[in-house]
Structure 1
Amino acid sequence: MAYLLIRQKFAEYTRWREAFDSLAQQRDALGLETVAVTTNTSDPSEAVVLFRFDDIEQLRKHFPSPELKEAWRRGGVIEGSNQVTFLQEVVPPAETG
């Protein structure tokens, strides 16, 4: 299973969340499943979002799309704060008896 972790700072949560929610159809079309939308307890002006996905090539086309950049602007994302990390679940090797 593959995951995408996004961290970004914003000026105001409600504005950020509206912009995030406006991209729901685009995320669905890319096969992104939202696992968690959170804020950092140490820094409440930072969103931390985890997605699950199957096709990394589809995602690479999306980052950063003009629509995504526009949503970041509308949402008050602080320029330069985006951190995008692709994660791969590691399945432990089968134990041998």
Structure 2
Amino acid sequence: MAYLLIRQKFADYSRWREAFESLAEQRKGLGLETVLVTRNTADPDEAVILFRFEDVEQVRRHFPSPQLEAAWRQGGVIEGTNQVTFLDEVD
């Protein structure tokens, strides 16, 4: 099992969350399962999201897609704050 950790800052949580939810079908099509959506307690304008998935190459091709970048703009993600980390599960 592989994981994807995303950290990004936004100007308005409600706007960000709406854009995040708008990508639900796209995530489903890629096999991304949302494990956790959180806000940083030290910086509430930062989201930290964890996804689980099987097909690493399919997900890597998605980052960044035009649809994803458009959703980031729509959601008010602050440019330059995206941190995308691919993780492998270990025993």
TM-score, reference length from structure 2 = 0.99
Give the paired residue count.
Answer: 91
Q: Which residue of 2 aligns with 1:40?
A: 40
State the Cα deviation string for residues 8-46 of structure 1 (Å, max 9, x = none): 000000000000000000000000000000000110000
> How far apart are the structure 1 equivalents of 2:70 and 2:86?
22
> How far apart are the structure 1 equivalents of 2:56 and 2:13?
28
Is 1:82 the counterpart of 2:82? The answer is: yes
Mark the runs of 5 or more structure 1 residues left unpaired by the alignment: 92-97
TM-score, reference length from structure 1 = 0.93
List 4+ stretches of structure 1 deviating above 3 A. none
C-alpha RMSD over aligned residues: 0.4
Mark the runs of 5 or more structure 2 residues left unpaired by the alignment: none
Identity of aligned residues (%): 76
Map 1:1-97; keep pairs closer than 5 Å.
Answer: 1-91=1-91
